[in-house]
Structure 1
Amino acid sequence: MNTEKQSHVLIIGASGGVGQALVEYYLTVGWRVTAWSRSRLSITHDALSCVQVQGYHPEQVADAVASLADLSGVISTLGVLHNAEFMPEKHLGAVNAEQLEASFQVNTILPILLLQQLVPKLPRKAPAFWLQLSAKVGSITDNYLGGWYSYRASKAALNMLLKTAAIELARSHKQLVIAAMHPGTTDTGLSKPFQDRLPADKLYSPAQSAARIAAVVEKLATGDSGKLLHWDGTELPY
């Protein structure tokens, strides 16, 4: 994405493996970075503004949103696959309301509400971007293995919400690109329980994934708005 002034990025979920790597990457290439995280970051830099938030519900980030200015783009890394209470469901009998609700809350509801809040902070007449990390397994077309019900469904719903928002906002923010992206399996806590099944060359370091995400951002064009993108920039099917 070519802009005359593209120097300030907001990283949401900046204390996670990919989020922190993105902060480090953009500082290295000379961007101004605002980092939202629930945990305190250990990074210090003159171009970095760290905002520790209690959570990502609208009322919890209202002050942080109000303080933003001159924003060029947003990268949100929010997402949950498992936690202390649940793992991905392997079969229909494991599906339950609590896990579905938890997955949709983090993977679907919070990202779209954050977009709703942050759109007024993005320029209406200049290039800008909103990139939300999603997952290839959220593709309905590409689902050949089944399982992982709540994660797949919440990511598919996320993709639909972003596609719908992209259509609407193209009328008011003609140079804004809203996209979802599959970053590949990255060596973070999210993928840790499943890494032993992967070939070594299919597990990427956070720094690798951050550089790939940034490369996709750099090439975004308005025609990409509403798409689900692979880490190499190719389009994935819904």
Structure 2
Amino acid sequence: MAMVILGAGGGLGQALTAELAKQYPEETIVTVSRKALKLSDERVRHIQVKDYSEAALHTVVSDFKSQGFQLTGLISTIGMLHDEETFPEKKLGDLNEANLRKLFDVNAIQPILALKAFSPILDRKHTKFWVQLSAKVGSIEDNYLGGWYAYRASKAAVNMLLKSASIELKRTHKRLVVAAIHPGTTDTALSKPFQNRIPEGKLYTPEMSAKRIIKVIKGIQPEDTGKLWHWDGTELSY
């Protein structure tokens, strides 16, 4: 039995790895990231990838299968808000094609291709969850401020892609929950440029966010598949 963390190299990915290993002592935890990781737990196995392209994802699945693992759950932290060339837009004039394509690729295309790649090894009895970290700002109904065009839209896109996949998979995998979870603003590289605007008490450590995410995962049931969840366990509107 094994659980997988895609995007395990970031602060939240590492915290999720540690928390899964703690809460599921009978499971092997398989971490996947673009950088090498130092592993201190013998139950954690690591697969390093160059990127999250279809070819790389299929290699990960083949490696996973070759080790004789049975997939019981997967958490994907794949996603981006900014990098050296890309920053959230404040107005229409800030939009450009390259940044839109980049964020849709990382936030929507890569996550759904990951689900496609792993779909052949989703076990009808044993695979309990497929979770993608999303964002509350991807909720269309909850958008009152505007801005952040590419990030909002790409998160809304991945929510819809997961919703569609959940409907399809529910026909064959009755016990599987496909879910998107908003982790809250976590003290990682993703939130660094915006932390001075965050109200006191609203910036969470990776360890705290990891505990909350896993608590949500443990609380959702097969009938909840296809939904977007807040870190506190409440359902968010699309």
Distance 1:224 1:37 in 2: 29
Report the equivalent of 2:11: 17
Aligned partner of 1:65: which letter? V
Asked if structure 2 preserves the Cα contact closer than 8 Å seen for 1:26 and 1:32, the reply is no
Asked if structure 1 preserves the Cα contact closer than 8 Å seen for 2:162 and 2:179, the reply is yes
Once the two structures are superposed, residues 157-200 of structure 1 have per-residue CA deviations (whole angstroms, 9 ceiling, x without a partner) of 10000000000110011111000010000000000000001122
Once the two structures are superposed, residues 101-158 of structure 1 have per-residue CA deviations (whole angstroms, 9 ceiling, x without a partner) of 0000000000000000101112113451100000000000000000000000000010
Distance 1:165 1:119 in 2: 10
Asked if structure 1 preserves the Cα contact closer than 8 Å seen for 2:71 and 2:127, the reply is no
Asked if structure 1 preserves the Cα contact closer than 8 Å seen for 2:184 and 2:204, the reply is yes
Q: Aligned pair in 2 of structure 1 residues 80, 117: CA closer, same or farther (>3 Å)?
A: same
Report the equivalent of 1:103: 103
**TM-score scaled to structure 2, two decimals?**
0.95
**TM-score scaled to structure 1, two decimals?**
0.95
- Structure 1's unaligned 5+ residue stretches are 1-6
Report the equivalent of 1:8: 2
Q: Structure 1 residue 237 and structure 2 residue 237: aligned?
A: yes
1:57-206, aligned counterparts within 5 Å?
57-68=53-64, 69-206=69-206
Distance 1:44 1:126 in 2: 27
Report the CA distance between 1:67 and its aligned residue. 2.5
Percent of aligned pairs with the same amino acid: 53
Report the equivalent of 1:26: 20
Which is further off, 158-167 or 125-134?
Answer: 125-134
Distance 1:170 1:8 in 2: 21
- Structure 2's unaligned 5+ residue stretches are none
Distance 2:216 2:2 in 1: 17
3-state SS, counterpart of residue 107 of structure 2: helix
Asked if structure 1 preserves the Cα contact closer than 8 Å seen for 2:71 and 2:126, the reply is no
Distance 1:165 1:15 in 2: 26
Which is further off, 211-220 or 109-118?
Answer: 211-220
Report the equivalent of 1:214: 214
Report the CA distance between 1:227 and its aligned residue. 0.2
Distance 1:127 1:220 in 2: 14
Structure 1 stretches of 4+ moved >3 Å: none
Distance 1:127 1:133 in 2: 18
Aligned partner of 1:188: which letter? T
Distance 1:9 1:195 in 2: 31
Aligned partner of 1:177: which letter? V
Aligned partner of 2:3: which letter? V
Distance 1:119 1:60 in 2: 15
Computed over aligned residues only, the root mean square deviation of the Cα atoms, in angstroms, reads: 1.0
Asked if structure 2 preserves the Cα contact closer than 8 Å seen for 1:25 and 1:211, the reply is yes
Once the two structures are superposed, residues 87-113 of structure 1 have per-residue CA deviations (whole angstroms, 9 ceiling, x without a partner) of 100001111111100000000000000
Report the CA distance between 1:61 and its aligned residue. 2.6
3-state SS, counterpart of residue 158 of structure 1: helix
Distance 1:228 1:45 in 2: 32
